[in-house]
Amino acid sequence: MKKGMSRVIRLTIVYALILTGAAFVLFPFIWMFSTSLKNIVQCYDYPLSWFPRPFVWRNFVDGWQIGNFSLYLKNTLVVTFGAMAGAVLSCSLVAYGFARFKVPGKDILFLLLLGTMMVPFHVTMVPLFILFKQLGWINTFKPLIIPSFFAISPFFVFLLRQFFRTIPTEIEDAAIIDGCSYFDVFWRIILPLAKPALAAVVIFSFTWNWNDFLGPLIYLGKGKYTLQVGLANFIGQLIVIKWNYMMAVSILVMLPCVILFFFTQRYFIQGVVFTGIKE
C-alpha cells in the first residue's frame, strides 16, 4: 500500500513539473493568440487584459491584406520547396556514398565535411555575396535554392549517412546480384527504407528555409521578400504599430511549421533516434 502511495506521489510531482514547464513554454503563444484577437485600443490597455472583448477574428484577414503577405507567401514557398528538394536529393546521394563506397581517404573527407559545421554563416556571408553578385544572382531566388543541390548541409549528410549504415548490406548485395545498378539500389531500396531519416531532413530543411531571415534579407529586393523579411518590414508600414495585426500575421506565418511537425513527428523521432546506432 505504501509503495502504491509513494508511486502516486512521484507521478503527481512529475506531472506537476511537466505541466508547469508546459505553461512557461506556452505562455508567449497564448499571449500572442490573445493579442491577435483584440482591437487596437485593447492592445494598449492598462492594466493588461488577457481576454479580448469582443473577439476580432477580422484581424487575421486585415493584417494579411495590409501587409501584402500573399506575395511573400508565394516567394517563401518557391524558396522553401526548391531548397528542400535540393537538400534531400543531394545530401542523400552524398550520404549514401559515404555510407557504402570504399574509397581511400573517405573518412578524412567526411571529417572535413563535418568540420565545416563549425564555420558560421557570418564568416562566409561577404564572400558568398560577392560571388553571387558576379554571377548576376542578386535579387533572384538562385542564391537561396541552387546551392542546396550541392549538399551544402553537413548535418543532413551526417544524419542520412548514419541512418544508411543501419540498413543491412545484404539487401543491396541481393539487388545487385539480380541486376540492379548502384543508382537503382539507392533509388528503389535505400530511399524507401530511409523514410524516417528523410522525414527528419524534410522537417529541418522546411523549418530552416521557412524561417530564414538573413539570407533573403541579403539577396532579395522588396518585390521578392519572403514572409520573415516581410513580417519584419510590416512594422515600418504602419504609422501606429498595430500589435493585433502583427500577432495575427505572426500566427499565420508560424502555423505551417507547427502543422508539418504535428503530422510528421513520428517519422522525425524515428529518424533522430535510429541515427548513430551503428558505427
pLDDT, averaged across the chain? 86
Quote the pLDDT of residue 1: 54
What pTM, to 2 d.p., does this model score? 0.84
pLDDT digit string, tens, across residues 208-238: 999 999 999 999 988 899 999 998 888 777 6
pLDDT digit string, tens, across residues 142-186: 999 999 999 889 999 999 998 898 888 888 888 888 888 888 888
Highest mean pLDDT among 129-138, 178-187, 264-273: 129-138
pLDDT digit string, tens, across residues 86-126: 999 999 999 999 988 888 888 899 999 989 888 888 889 99
Over 50: is that where the pLDDT of 130 sits? Answer: yes
Quote the pLDDT of residue 51: 80
The candidate with the shortest Cα–Cα distance to 251, out of 76, 71, 81, 61, is: 61
CATH no., domain 60-274: 1.10.3720.10
138: left (phi > 0), else alpha (psi -120 to 50), else beta? beta
Per-domain boundaries in the chain: 2-58, 60-274
Quote the pLDDT of residue 5: 62
